[in-house]
Each structure stands twice: as C-alpha cells, then as structure tokens.
C-alpha cells in the first residue's frame, strides 16, 4: 500500500491515451466478480431444484452419478458466462464497457471534478510528471477505429480518472443524464496500491458535489451480489438499499424506475442503493 496525498489528486475527464490504463483498472477491480455472481445464481433454491431434476434424468442415461451431477452444472456455467453481463461491463447497464470507455473521452477534455482536499491544504494539484511508458504489449493493443455518433456519445455517459503526477490511480463511471434530477454511478474502481486511502470516497463525494450543483436530487448505484465490501463502502457514504426502511410514495415511484440487473431465472445480480443529495 502506498501513502496517498489526496490534495494532489486531479479528477479529470478521461482522455484517449487513458483508455488502456482504465481497462486494466476495471479488469483488476472486478477480478472474481463474475465467478461470485455465477456461484450466487447456482446456489439459489430454484436453480438447485432444476439441476437436481436434470441430474436425476441423466442418471438413467449415463449410469454415472458423478457425470449426471457434473454435466448440467458445467453446461449451466458455460451458459451463464455467455449470457451474463461481463465482469468488465458497467453495473446496472446493458451497454458494454467500450461504449463508456471508448466514447466518453470525446467530450470536453478540460472538465474536472472538485477536490475538497486541495481547498483545505491550499495546494493546487498538477500533473507534472510524464505519463507511464507505453510497453510493447500496450502497442500491440489496437484501439477500435469505428466512428462514434453524437447519440452514442451522449448515451455512453462519462468517465473521470483520478490522476496524481501523471499516474492513473482510479476512475468513476457515471451514466448519461437520462433523467433530469437523477444520476447513476455505474462503477468506482481504485488501484490495488491505493485502496483504504480515501480515494474511492473522494471520487464519489466529488461526483456528488458536481451533480448536486448541476441540479441532481438523487444518486443511484448498483452493487453486485454478493459484494459485502462494496455494500459497506456505500453505506458509509450515506447510501441506503432500496426497500430498506419506510419510503414515502414519492420515493416509491422514483425507486420503481431503478431495478436490479437480473440474470438466469430472474435472479437479481445487483443490489440498488441510493442517496438523496
């Protein structure tokens, strides 16, 4: 773990040459998430019942208890890996991650999120050091050259990166402004060396402040099952899960518009949390 000075962090819009680093952060940040989601689906009572019925039928055909048990489980895992939103996707959205990572950098390049730590310390954060060197492995990765229409660019949402002295430490994804007073955080990722240093909290607070100044009244976020760490993180920031406590009629109508991502047999893959600004 590296000691991080939060007042030196600049949270700016993602640029084209940040894409590979952002992809690497996403892959690192959601490592194992897809497997945990698959295990969550496989252990649901209805799914276990269906697997037991299929195994009983196969037992009469293959004459092997082990094969009769393993074949349906193996086929279901393959099916889930193909149909389930990829772990590198954006939570709560059916859009693939490329629509966010590849499109959002085409907006205003000098847009930044406010950093309250800079005002407290009186320092002006900057990016004086050069960016990380591009390795031969990075050169082999060619970025898609397809044209991005204005409609797709607006649909993609926005991505901000936490930049400290030219190094990308983390990123936060925000859905496009489909609803006038509602925003949705689709993903928050921090590098493994900079966790538990307050970087994720800084990203979320800064985005909330920006959206509140823009007129947003509520922020939603999706947390994958069964991510206890992500759930605890957002609860500490004042978020509540939909359905907890007593909501008034207005809250109920708003929450109906935000539903969990669902997978095989309709089992929810995400929990929906919200916070009023």
Kindly report, residue by residue over 238-259, the tens digit of the pLDDT.
999 987 765 565 666 666 677 7
Q: Is 145 part of any domain?
A: no
pLDDT more than 70, % of the chain: 71
Q: Is 61 part of any domain?
A: yes
Kindly report, residue by residue over 190-247, the tens digit of the pLDDT.
887 878 888 889 999 999 998 888 888 899 988 887 778 888 999 999 999 987 765 5
Q: Is 142 part of any domain?
A: no
Q: Is 144 part of any domain?
A: no
Question: How high is the pLDDT of residue 128?
Answer: 46
Task: Write out the residue range of the structural domain in which residue 246 sits.
Answer: 1-123+150-276
Neighbours of 231 (CB within 10 A): 17
Which region, left, alpha or beta, applies to residue 95 given φ > 0 means left and ψ of -120 to 50 means alpha? beta
Per the structure, the count of domains in the chain is 1
Q: What is the pTM of this model?
A: 0.75
- CA separation (Å) from 236 to 117, 208, 213, 231? 19, 14, 22, 9
- CA separation (Å) from 223 to 30, 171, 188, 269? 11, 16, 10, 8
Q: Is 109 part of any domain?
A: yes
Q: Is 272 part of any domain?
A: yes
Can you give the CATH number for the domain in which 174 is found?
A: 3.40.630.30
Q: Is 8 part of any domain?
A: yes
């Amino acid at each position: 773990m590296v000691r991080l000075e939060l007042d030196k962090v600049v949270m700016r819009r993602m640029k084209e040459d940040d894409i590979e680093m952002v992809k690497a952060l996403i892959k690192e940040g959601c490592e194992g998430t897809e497997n945990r989601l698959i295990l969550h689906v496989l252990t649901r009572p209805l799914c276990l019942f269906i697997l037991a019925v299929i195994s009983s039928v196969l037992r009469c055909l293959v004459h092997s208890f082990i094969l009769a048990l393993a074949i349906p489980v193996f086929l279901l895992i393959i099916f889930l890996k193909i149909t389930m939103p990829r772990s590198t996707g954006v939570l709560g959205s059916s859009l693939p991650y490329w629509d966010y990572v590849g499109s959002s950098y085409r907006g205003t390049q000098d847009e930044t999120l406010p950093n309250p730590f800079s005002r407290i310390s009186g320092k002006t954060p900057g990016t004086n050091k050069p960016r990380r060197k591009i390795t031969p492995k990075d050169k082999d990765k060619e970025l898609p050259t397809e044209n991005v229409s204005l409609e797709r660019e607006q649909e993609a949402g926005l991505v901000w990166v936490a930049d400290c002295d030219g190094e990308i430490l983390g990123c936060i994804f925000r859905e496009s402004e489909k609803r006038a007073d509602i925003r949705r955080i689709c993903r928050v990722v921090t590098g493994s060396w900079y966790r538990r240093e307050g970087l994720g909290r800084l990203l979320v607070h800064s985005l909330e402040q920006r959206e509140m100044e823009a007129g947003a009244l509520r922020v939603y976020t999706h947390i994958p099952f069964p991510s206890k760490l992500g759930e605890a993180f957002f609860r500490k920031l004042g978020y509540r899960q939909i359905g907890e406590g007593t909501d008034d009629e207005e809250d109920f109508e708003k929450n109906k518009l935000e539903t969990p991502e669902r997978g095989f047999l309709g089992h929810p893959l995400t929990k929906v949390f919200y916070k009023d600004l």
